[in-house]
Structure formats: C-alpha cells, structure tokens
Amino acid sequence: MRLPVSDYQSAWRDYRLLRNWCLALSLGGVGVFVLFLAFSKLFNPFKPGFVLAGAWFILYLYVYIRLSSWKCPRCGKYFSTRYAKVSRFVSFRFSFLPPILLTRHCVHCDLTKYSD
C-alpha cells in the first residue's frame, strides 16, 4: 500500500519506535539472562525465571517480526529485503538484529531512510 507523501513522517515515526524497541530488547536480553540466573538460584524450580525469559522472548520475537516486515512508505514493498517470505511471519534469513537496521534505502524504489 502506497502512502501519500504527507504520511511519510508518521511512517518513519512508527519505524523509529519499532527500531528503538528492538534495540532496547536486544540489550535488555543480557539483563533478562542475569535475572534468569538469579531466579534460578533463589527458587528451587526457578519458574519465575522461565516466565521472565519467555515473556522477553515473545516480546522480542513480536517486535523483530514487525520490524523485519516493515514496508516502504513509497512503494509498499518490504523495505530491506527482496527475498521471498515463507509466510507472513517467517523469512529465510534470521539474525539477532533485523536486516532493516543496516539498510539505508529501500531495495525496491531507492527511498532513503527517513526521507520525506
């Protein structure tokens, strides 16, 4: 879906929000791991640690998928990849951080990131 030029700024604002969440959750994963270890020492079955780690993973996966499938405001195609998707939720490539963070322009229409 192609957006009117006036809506580019709101699309980039949404992208920045997702990007910041993804980076915060990536860095927060270290803290979750430390808390997981602390809970495993305090509680015998350490269920709170699994709940915390599971909740973090689900939230990270949700933000990762949303960011990876973010569409260009100009052409409406996937901003950072030409690769086919297995489904709406799974791509052929998976890395700890989505490739869109490293992409500087749309691979389809050459729209520069954050441009109006």
Q: List, for residues 12-66, the tens digit of each pLDDT value.
A: 898 899 889 988 888 888 887 787 777 777 766 667 777 777 888 899 888 888 8
Distances (CA, A) of 56 to 16, 23, 80, 112: 20, 13, 25, 32
Mean pLDDT across 75-100: 62
Instruction: Give the burial string for 86-105 (b: 16+ CB within 10 Å, else e).
Output: eeeeebeeeeeebbbeeeee
Give the integer Cα–Cα distance in Å for 69 and 76.
Answer: 11
pLDDT band at 84 (very low <50, low <70, confident <90, very high): very low
Assess whether pLDDT exceeds 70 at residue 100: no
1 vs 77, residue with greater confidence: 77
pTM of the entire structure? 0.70
- What's the mean pLDDT when you consider all of the chain? 76
